[in-house]
Structure 1
């Protein structure tokens, strides 16, 4: 076996060289890509080669040809969408995950990575203040974490009225009603569509996108039967969270399962300074969050957390004869939609082990402090208006008319110093800033604010 190692060495050496060059470049390179997908497709494509090419040559070609089309997402000046960077411990652990190449389905066959994921899940529950006996599944991201939690919810609310959805399907089943905040993330609707539950009923939200509890109570009183309530920790535009404690109490009083979409906002629970933003979150029944956002592990990694393991395992558990010798209760395959998958929990373990409890709190606190610094800097620019209460990591800015806001946004993106995504919120076009990177510092904030100032100056 050792004789095979030399086959890997040249390609890995080149990959390490290109990775170092990329990471080093992030401090000063323009954040935006310098080439479009069409031109890069032509550069990377053409007829499939007739014969082999040395792996190290392939690595060089890939790195050199794709480089102009790379977005500086790991840069401290990238504030688009809600996309984190990559913590050094998580990146190195992810490299090892690829090298180990473990299919993380069963504890018996891959005990090393299964154990790592079990510990990472337990640490995450502890940090987030969630029930220690909850199940944690490592999925691709918040979309599939929502899907997973809502699948467990679908199982349980139908089982409570005597319907076995796993064996009987949805045809003829009692209708499951789903109530959501008017400003939930669209991936909640997508997950419900995947699950055959249709379009949810929207409940009014306030001026920061928080669900109005009184309206939730009225909506619950209008119907009966199997019910799921989806709440939100971290609004995409304002960063605000629904009033979770009161909403959960109301929902549970009506017998509903409560699912919390906390893609990035759930991590407020890891900070003593910010925990009040999500007070009461631990009383929900399931939660979804991303590790590749606030926790800064590489793509793709989300956490699906369910307080009732039996509901999750009934929804996703499977048995195959060729597993019979190896399969056990609580195997990873019972907690996620996939059977074959990489060991996504390994980089989660690494970043939690590296940061510790205080380091995770400092990570989240620093993101919030940087968001406030960005907001303060932009607020001092003539014509700029911060349109949300900056309580977490999100900042939305308007520059008078929608046309003017779009113009400033386009100039910011063309400038390349920073990336801030345009959006539309509460009837207005906005420039949206999402601070999600562990490496963002005061220099990044100052350079980014200056870029906005230049873009807004005629």
Structure 2
């Protein structure tokens, strides 16, 4: 890590993005199976003598470098795609990630006279808002840990919002108490081609996996949301609704809605029935035009 902040030393790696693919070092996406087996075989085991004994730092680093690293998948060093949306990383992003780990800041506490970290995060969020063409003063913004974390946060916000519109608060009364006060017997999550983390998040925030209802437009394109079915579900008495819209289904990159008119209709339905819209941005289909919503 001694050369992390030596930009001249980092220049070769940072400039790789602009080089032709033929000139770049070719990295294997997957390691040879024998290396995986070899690395697994020498991992500490509870039956080993000295299982929890400390080791010299240099020995640990050498073990990781010589045995563990060669047995890891190498998609970050390659343009090749590897599952679970962990494809290659831009050289600059890789370097920045190392900086973040090295400096180990705490951006959950705003200490403007002690660190610029929270200002940096806020600036990055504002740039993301601009990229997504949202309002410049969009106040609800934060970074999450990933798919499950973002869905947990989105569903928690939605759960609170749909019950607040009926005069109750989960934060004050708890989920059961808020539902009783609001006269709600069910909170449902309407989606199409929902990511597995959506159901996981539903269980975490107390709505349950069974609350997730798939409403595909057809069997050929299950990620397309059936707005007629959404309208019927929203009209059910005693029900509060969260609509989770797939903004790039992870297997196909397909969008739940086709155009601005469908988004407008969904927005009108949500407003009419006091529903919450949760946009689940999985990944983007490269060849799909990106309309202004």
Contact 1:33 1:70 in 2 (8 A): no
* Aligned equivalent of 1:184, options 194, 208, 212: 194
Contact 1:230 1:261 in 2 (8 A): yes
Secondary structure, aligned partner of 2:62: helix
Counterpart of 2:255 in structure 1 is: 241
Q: What are the residue-to-residue correspondences of 1:279-358 with 2, within 5 Å? A: 279-280=292-293
SS at match of 1:236: coil
- Is 1:227 aligned with 2:241? yes
Q: Give the TM-score taking structure 1 as reference length.
A: 0.51
Contact persistence 2:243–2:278 (CA under 8 A): yes
2:148–2:197 CA contact under 8 A, matched in 1: yes
Which whole-Å CA distance do the structure 2 matches of 1:111 and 1:135 have between them? 23
Deviation, 1:274, is 2.3
Query: What's the offset of the Cα at 1:95?
Result: 1.4
Structure 2, unaligned stretches of length 5 or more?
Answer: 17-22
CA distance in structure 1 between the aligned counterparts of 2:214 and 2:27, rounded to whole angstroms? 44
CA–CA separation in structure 1 for the residues paired with 2:53 and 2:199: 46
Contiguous gaps of at least 5 residues in structure 1: 1-7, 281-458
The residue aligned with 1:97 is 100
Alignment match, 1:409: none
Q: 2:149 aligned with 1:141, yes or no?
A: no
Q: Which residues of 2 match residues 35-434 of structure 1 at below 5 A?
A: 35=34, 39-45=38-44, 46=48, 47-48=50-51, 50=53, 52-53=55-56, 55-74=57-76, 75-108=78-111, 111-132=115-136, 133-174=138-179, 175=184, 176-198=186-208, 199=210, 200-206=212-218, 207-208=220-221, 209-243=223-257, 245=263, 246-265=265-284, 274-276=289-291, 279-280=292-293
Deviation at residue 64 of structure 1 after TM alignment: 0.9
Q: Identify if the C-alpha distance between structure 1 residues 49 and 191 changes in structure 2 by more than 3 Å, giving closer, same or farther.
A: closer
Q: Kindly indicate whether the alpha-carbon contact (under 8 Å) linking 2:80 and 2:88 is maintained by their aligned counterparts in 1.
A: no
Aligned partner of residue 152 in structure 1, secondary structure: helix
Q: Please tell me whether the aligned partners of residues 29 and 75 of structure 2 are also in contact (alpha carbons under 8 angstroms).
A: no
> What is the deviation of 1:28?
4.2
2:37, 2:240 → 1: CA distance? 48
Deviation at residue 94 of structure 1 after TM alignment: 1.5
Deviation at 1:38, TM superposition (A): 6.0
Could you tell me how far 1:65 is from its partner in structure 2? 0.6
Question: Which structure dedicates a bigger proportion of its chain to strand?
Answer: 1
CA RMSD for the aligned pairs? Answer: 3.3
1:83-102 per-residue CA deviation (whole Å, 9 max, x = no partner) reads 23221111111111122111
Instruction: Decide whether the 8 Å contact of 1:235 with 1:241 is kept in 2.
Output: yes
Alignment length, in residue pairs?
Answer: 260
Give how far 1:118 is off: 0.0
Partners of 2:2 and 2:252 in 1: how far apart?
48
Corresponding position of 1:407: none
Pair 257,30 (structure 1): closer, same or farther in 2 beyond 3 Å? closer
**Which structure's relative contact order is higher, taking Cα pairs within 8 Å and 6+ residues apart?**
1
